[in-house]
């Protein structure tokens, strides 16, 4: 059965949610599922903005058919060529063979890479500032390269003042009937997933997101229509501010996260002791993560949130304990910068994890390594507590 929602007189939500997928992009756990948004505008000419992932193909095609009510589909706008949004393009072409496909030159190169259908005869190539009038609506095409992929663009409808934002302003999480951010408790129930989505999917490309935010400043936006998660028609500024923060690598909170990798529990004990000392000195909302049991994407998101990070690692094969190393490499890959970092290493005979963690952080921008750096030989001893107190005091003086 079709499952669509009317957004206004002639704009319809025709996307769908997937609660079966375990790993988004086969890497990110999504326990709350994910939505693949798509929007159909029933103007004098009909225009579909993006398709969906093939996992929801049956639902999506029923939705389109229901809204079109026998009318032809005139245009498909391809804002983003990642398969979670373009996978159903061949099916659309098969069912609506006269459809024109709108994209930029990079879009069409990618369509040919992914698919074999005849795209040239359907191609409408647009560039920055080009427009398409379909009757009541005029769509303006705005290039947003590297707001995930190089071909990404966003589409602004000056009639409704809707910004069809591609991956920007998206989030993990299936839509549960409510398709608007103002119909859910976004700050309580969605923000962590939105941060995890942004930081892991787009976080590497902060300058590109900043460039898009600058372009968006010049638009009068009544609603942001992302390709994942709820639509923003109220308080857009609140979410845009989050994007400003994340894309500039500015810590969202004055807060500390302690990430540890511990083989037999001694490094974990040291992390707990430090957390307790921080609490005694007045630090609130301390976050502690075991890198072995916490998905790296969660820690990446927390690193974007927190101003202070403590990494504690056992030495393993003369290097960093692999689960911690995975997180550090992930942070580097996502351009992590502008943080204060404390390091703790453990090694029963030759502790080297600390030096190697420091080396990785030195390859990131504007990272301040806090002193003292702490070393355990197998387990924390009483005589080492003074060093822990000193480090806890330094972090607490920043945060309290």
Positions touching ligand FEO (CB under 6 A) are 80, 82, 84-85, 148, 167, 227-228
Contact between 208 and 335 under an 8 Å Cβ cutoff? The reply is: no
Which residue, judged by CB position, is nearest to ligand FEO in the bound state? 82
User: Cβ atoms within 10 A of the Cβ of 377, count?
Assistant: 14
Q: Which of 364, 193, 369 is nearest to 184 (CA)?
A: 193
CB of 82 to ligand FEO, least distance (A): 4
Q: Which of 18, 335, 14 is nearest to 172 (CA)?
A: 18
Residue closer to ligand FEO (CB basis): 85 or 339: 85
Query: What is the distance between the alpha carbons of residues 285 and 279, in angstroms, rounded to a whole number?
Result: 9
Q: Tokens for 81, please give them.
A: 């060529």
Q: Tokens for 104, please give them.
A: 């930029």
Helix (H) or strand (E) holding 240: helix 236-247
Query: What is the distance between the alpha carbons of residues 368 and 121, in angstroms, rounded to a whole number?
Result: 55
Measured in degrees and rounded to the nearest 5, phi and psi for residue 196 equal: -65, -40
Contact between 257 and 285 under an 8 Å Cβ cutoff? The reply is: no
CB of 80 to ligand FEO, least distance (A): 6
Residue closer to ligand FEO (CB basis): 85 or 122: 85
Residue closer to ligand FEO (CB basis): 15 or 347: 15
CB of 36 to ligand FEO, least distance (A): 8
CB of 134 to ligand FEO, least distance (A): 25
Residue closer to ligand FEO (CB basis): 141 or 205: 205
Helix (H) or strand (E) holding 278: helix 266-280
Q: Across-strand partners of 306?
A: 253
Residue closer to ligand FEO (CB basis): 82 or 268: 82
Residue closer to ligand FEO (CB basis): 84 or 330: 84
CB of 176 to ligand FEO, least distance (A): 19
CB of 249 to ligand FEO, least distance (A): 20
């Amino acid at each position: 059965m079709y499952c669509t929602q009317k957004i206004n007189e002639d704009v319809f939500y025709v996307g769908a949610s997937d609660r079966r997928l375990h790993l988004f992009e086969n890497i990110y756990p999504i326990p709350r599922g994910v939505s693949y948004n798509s929007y159909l505008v029933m103007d004098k000419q009909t225009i579909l903005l993006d398709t969906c992932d093939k996992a929801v193909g049956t639902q999506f095609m029923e939705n389109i058919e229901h809204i079109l009510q026998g009318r032809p589909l005139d245009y498909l706008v391809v804002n983003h060529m990642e398969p979670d949004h373009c996978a159903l393009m061949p099916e659309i072409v098969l069912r609506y063979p006269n459809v024109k496909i709108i994209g930029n030159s990079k879009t069409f190169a990618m369509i040919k890479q992914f698919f074999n259908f005849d795209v040239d005869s359907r191609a409408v190539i647009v560039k920055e500032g080009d427009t398409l009038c379909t009757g009541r609506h005029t769509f303006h095409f705005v290039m947003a390269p590297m707001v995930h992929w190089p071909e990404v663009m966003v589409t602004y409808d000056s009639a409704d003042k809707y910004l069809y934002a591609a991956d920007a302003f998206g989030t993990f999480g299936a839509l549960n009937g409510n398709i608007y951010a103002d119909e859910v408790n976004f700050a309580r129930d969605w923000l962590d997933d939105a941060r995890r989505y942004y930081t892991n999917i787009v976080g590497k490309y902060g300058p590109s997101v900043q460039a898009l935010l600058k372009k968006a400043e010049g638009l009068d936006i009544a609603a942001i229509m992302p390709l994942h998660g709820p639509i923003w028609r109220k308080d857009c500024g609140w979410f845009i501010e989050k994007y400003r923060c994340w894309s500039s690598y500015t810590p969202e909170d004055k807060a500390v996260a302690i990430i540890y990798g511990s083989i037999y529990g001694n490094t974990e004990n040291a992390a707990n002791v430090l957390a307790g000392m921080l609490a005694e000195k007045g630090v609130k909302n301390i976050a502690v993560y075991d890198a072995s049991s916490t998905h790296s994407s969660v820690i990446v998101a927390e690193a974007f949130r927190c101003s202070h990070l403590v990494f504690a690692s056992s030495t393993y094969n003369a290097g960093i304990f692999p689960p911690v190393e995975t997180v550090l490499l992930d942070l580097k890959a996502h351009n992590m910068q502008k943080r204060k970092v404390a390091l703790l290493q453990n090694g029963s005979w030759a502790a080297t994890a600390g030096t190697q963690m420091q080396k990785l952080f030195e390859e990131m921008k504007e990272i301040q390594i806090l002193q003292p750096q702490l070393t355990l030989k197998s387990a924390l001893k009483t005589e080492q507590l003074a060093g822990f107190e000193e480090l806890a005091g330094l972090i607490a003086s920043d945060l309290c």
